[in-house]
Amino acid sequence: MVPIRATTTLVGLLAWPASHSLSPPMQNAGFAALGLDWAYVPLPTPPERLGDAVRGLVATGFAGANVTIPHKTAVLDHCDEVEADAAAASSVNTLRIVDGRVLGSSTDIAALRAAFDAGGRRVLVLGRGGAAKAAAQAYRGAGAAEVVLAGRRDVGWPPSPEGFDAVVNCTPLSDEAVVTLTGHEAVVDMAYRPDGRETALVAAARAAGCACIVDGLDLLLAQGAVSFARWTGVAAPLEAMRAGLRQ
């Protein structure tokens, strides 16, 4: 149990549902490693109560929050200010509360951009939600030759990765590989399983011989480390957070 006192600084996770997330143990491991009197708590938030939840963060003195499915786009309407990259992507996954103002940004963009070199490459993004929008912004900003989004409701789903240099899964699907890989793609999977087992897409990428594979836990750590630094003002203790994530 993470000790929470009257002096504890709180950050949270706005999600629906929130029970599957590994962000709480990861972030709390980071706070503990640095001896910070901070705590990260899940805040299950149905879509129709998102505005109430954001106002509640301000009213109760939270320092900030992460935002995930299904709120990454809708939460923009509840921010007082949004960083340029996040605004262009219409996707926010990190909130900071400063002097009663809600500041939105996307640490997904930084994590996705660092996953592989997209310069001059054709990138297939699976999904059309907030995470997919962040991926499109990340790779267009990194100089990708083309970024194509394919949603689960699109005609012709699932798409073929033929002719693409990278496949980025921004859907929550973890039990099916979705696409048939050729073995030449870089594969990035934002989905993860709470028990730490490989997703079906990551397993398929390994079997196909893909040279660049980035799984959802690595991405969660990368974006979480940036969020940690933005909230606390200090560098994230990566090894402690990785241990908390995979325990």
β partners of residue 64: 11, 96
Contact 206, 219 (CB under 8 A): no
Cβ contacts of 24-28, under 8 Å, gap ≥ 24:
25/244, 25/245, 25/247, 26/220, 26/221, 26/224, 26/241, 26/242, 26/244, 26/245, 27/224, 27/227, 27/228, 27/241, 27/244, 28/2, 28/244
- The active-site residue out of 26, 38, 57, 72 is 72
For β-strands 81-82 and 101-105, DSSP reports them as parallel
Contact 57, 97 (CB under 8 A): yes
Q: Is 133 part of the annotated catalytic residue set?
A: no
Question: Mind telling me the catalytic residues?
Answer: 72
